[in-house]
Amino acid sequence: MPDGAPASNPDRPWLAHYPSNVPRSIEIPNERLPDAVERSVQNWPDRTAFVFYGARTSYRTFWDATGRFAAALRRDGFVPGDRLALYLPNCPAYPIALYGALRLGVTAVQVSPLYLGEDLEHLLADARPKGIVHPDILTRNLAKVPAKVAPPIQYCARLKEFYPWYQRAFVNRVARRRGLDPRDPSGPGVRWFAQATRGPGEFPRPAADPAKDVAVLQYTGGTTGRPKAAQLTHRNLLANALQSQAMFPVAPPGTSVVLAAIPFFHVYGLTVALNYPLVAGSTIVLELRPDVPEMLRLIAKHRPLELPGVPALYRGIADHPNVGKFDIRSIRICVSGSAPLPAEVAQRFEAITGGNLIEGYGLTEASPVTHANPIDHDRRRAGSIGLPLPLTDHRVVDLESATRVLGPGEAGELQVRGPQVMLGYLDRPEETAAVLRDDWLSTGDIATIDPDGYAYIVDRKKDMVNVGGLKVYPREVEELLFRIPGVADAAAVGVPDPELGEVVAAFVVRTAGASLTEAEVIAFVRERIAHYKAPRLVVFRGGLPRSGVQKVLRRELRDLAIAERATRARAG
C-alpha cells in the first residue's frame, strides 16, 4: 500500500474502526532509523533515555556514546555493509552498540544470549559477522565457538560497569550465584566496549538508501529447522516504529516511560520496547532478564505507562502471590505479542493494574507488528488479533493456490503487506520467493477476517512450538534426539503449558536393549542448544504413529503428550 493511501478506501473497512486518535495514514520519512532517533536527542537532550537498576543515561549521553562506538568500529576497519553481531541481554550496551553500528551503516546481527553450542555456531557461520559485542558473562560460551566461524573482533562489555557505583562490587557475585561466570576474553581481536565508547567520536556519515540498506539481520526458523535471516531495512524498522506509535497513542512524545522486560534480541522487543520508544522520546527502564518479582519492584519504583510483553509475563504478574503489595497502577497500556493471549489472563491483569492489555500480532519478516486491537474497550473483539496497523493491508487466500482471495469468515492463509515487510531472506532466494509474492507476505498462519476487517487466527500452518514467545522448530530438536545412543526413532511436538504457553515434549523409541532415561535425554539436548528448546517431557514408546506415507502424526502425539502430563500431575 502506498504511504499516502486514502483513509476512505472501501477495500479497507478496518479504517472505519480505528479510534479517532489513530491516523488512517501516516508518512514514513525517507531516512534511516538513527535519523529519527536523533530528532529525539535534539528535542529532549537532557531527558533520561535509559534507566538500568538506578543508573540513568540521558539522550545526549546515549547519543554521544553511539557516535564514539561508531568511530571505534571505523578505526577497526568496519565499513558500511559489514556486520556486527549483538550477543547481549537488555543492558545499556545493547542500544549503544546497535545505534553505533547503524550510524556507521553497519548491519546488526541479532544473537540470542540464550544461544550456546551448535545454536551459536550455526548462526555465526550463516551471518559471518566481522565482529561481536558480548557481555563478560557470555565469554565462556563464545570461547567454545570454533575459530573458523568466530568473529575476528570481540567487544567485551563488563556488565558491572553499567550499574551504579555502589552496586558494582556485588554484580559478579550475584551473577555467579545464578550460574553465570563473568570472565575476560583473551586474544588479539579483543576490545573493551567501555574503551570503545570513550574514544574520539569522528566517523564518516554513510550514503544511504533506507529502503535497501539492511539495518538488522533477524533470525527466524526455516522449513529445514535451521534459522534463516530476515533482512530488515532501515525503512522497515522505522516504518514499524512509527506505525506502532500511531496505533498506541498513550502519551505525548517525550513523556512516556516504558518497562523493557522483553528482550531486544527478539524482533518484538526490538520494535515495541526499544525503537518505537526511542523515536517517541520515551524513557526506557531496562530489565536484564524477565523476572516477575523484579518487574513488580521496577513498576512500583519507575511508574511506567507502557509494558509490552508476552502472555506468560502477564500471567506471571497476575498470579504472583505478592502482587497486591506493589502499586502497579501506573500502567496504561500493554501490548501482548508472540503468542495467543488468553481472555482470562487479560481480564485479571486489567483488574489488577487498571490498564489496557490488548492483543497484537506480527512476525519476524514484518519487523514484526502487523495487527493490534484498538486501545478502546468498545472497539476490541474477543479472540481477534485486531486490525491492521496504518499502511498495512491484509487478506486471506486459499491454501491450495495461495492466490485466490477468500471472503469474510472464510479460513485460509493470512497474507500481509506494508512498508514493514522485509527485503527478503539472506542468501535464500527460493525461500524468499516462497513467502513474498507481489509484495504480499505469506504468514503461514490460518485465519479468518470478519466484514469489519478484524482478523482471527484459527490454526497454524507451521509446526513450530512457541515457548514463551520464543520459537522452536521440532526438527531441530529431533536431529539431536537421533544423535543420542540408544534412540531408534524420535519426534518432538509442542504441548500446552500454563506459564509459557507451550513447551517441548519428546517421544522416543529406544533401540533393543537400551536403558535410556528421561533425564539423560533432556540433559543431552540441554547441553547442545538453548535450554528453552529442550524437552520438558519425554515419553518412551514402542513406535510412533505415522500416516500412510510415513509422516509422523504430530496432532496425535500432541494429544498423547497432553494426556501424559495430566497423568503425571495427578500422580504428584
| DSSP 8-state code for residue 541 | -
> Do residue 315 and residue 409 come from a single domain?
yes
> Do residue 116 and residue 83 come from a single domain?
yes
**How many CB atoms within 10 Å of residue 512?**
6
Q: Which of 386, 411, 444 is the last residue of a domain?
A: 444
> Do residue 501 and residue 560 come from a single domain?
yes
CA distance 505 to 563: 12
> Do residue 393 and residue 486 come from a single domain?
no
Question: Cell for 21?
Answer: 486518535
Q: Check which CATH number belongs to the domain holding 66 and give it.
A: 3.40.50.12780
The pTM of the full predicted model, rounded to 2 decimals, is 0.87
> Do residue 496 and residue 434 come from a single domain?
no
Q: Sign of torsion, CA 109 115 119 121?
A: positive
436 lies in some domain:
yes
Find, among 222, 238, 321, the residue nearest to 274 by Cα: 238
Q: Which residues of 436-462 are buried (b: 16+ CB within 10 A; e: fewer)?
A: beeebbbbebbbbbeeebbbbbeeeee
Distances (CA, A) of 505 to 432, 522, 527: 30, 10, 17
> Do residue 489 and residue 439 come from a single domain?
no
Sequence-distant (6+) residues with CB within 8 A of 377 are 356
266 lies in some domain:
yes
How confident is the model at residue 224, as a pLDDT?
A: 44
Distances (CA, A) of 546 to 489, 538, 551, 557: 12, 18, 5, 10
Radius of gyration for the chain, computed over Cα atoms and rounded to the nearest angstrom = 23
> Do residue 352 and residue 479 come from a single domain?
no
CA distance 464 to 475: 9
Q: Which of 411, 444, 477 is the last residue of a domain?
A: 444
Question: Cell for 274?
Answer: 526499544
CB 371 within 8 A of CB 362: yes
> Do residue 424 and residue 545 come from a single domain?
no
Sequence-distant (6+) residues with CB within 8 A of 498 are 315
Q: Which residues of 518-551 are buried (b: 16+ CB within 10 A; e: fewer)?
A: eeebbebbbebbbebbbbbbbbeeeebeeeeeee
> Do residue 478 and residue 433 come from a single domain?
no
4 lies in some domain:
no
Q: CB burial class (10 A; 0-12, 13-18, 19+) of residue 497? A: middle
How confident is the model at residue 9, as a pLDDT?
A: 60
Find, among 563, 390, 394, the residue nearest to 27 by Cα: 390
10-residue mean pLDDT series, the chain (572 residues): 47 94 96 98 98 97 98 98 98 98 98 92 96 97 95 96 91 86 90 96 93 96 68 98 96 97 94 98 95 95 95 88 95 88 86 93 96 91 94 94 91 95 97 95 93 89 82 83 90 91 94 92 94 95 76 86 92 82
Structural domains counted in the chain: 2
> Do residue 385 and residue 518 come from a single domain?
no
In the block, residue with C-alpha cell 517441548:
504
Q: Check which CATH number belongs to the domain holding 531 and give it.
A: 3.30.300.30
1 lies in some domain:
no
CA distance 456 to 470: 21
**How many CB atoms within 10 Å of residue 503?**
23
In the block, residue with C-alpha cell 497486591:
324
130 lies in some domain:
yes
Q: How far apart are the first and last CA of the chain?
A: 55
454 lies in some domain:
no
460 lies in some domain:
no
> Do residue 525 and residue 432 come from a single domain?
no
CB 393 within 8 A of CB 12: yes
Q: Which of 389, 413, 444 is the last residue of a domain?
A: 444
CA distance 432 to 453: 27
The residue segments making up the domain with residue 414 are: 13-444
497 lies in some domain:
yes
> Do residue 141 and residue 237 come from a single domain?
yes
Strands (E), 350-439: 356-362, 369-372, 387-388, 393-397, 412-417, 424-425, 436-437
Q: Which residues of 277-294 are buried (b: 16+ CB within 10 A; e: fewer)?
A: bbbbbbbbbbbbebebee
CA distance 41 to 103: 14
| Biggest CA-to-CA distance, the chain | 71
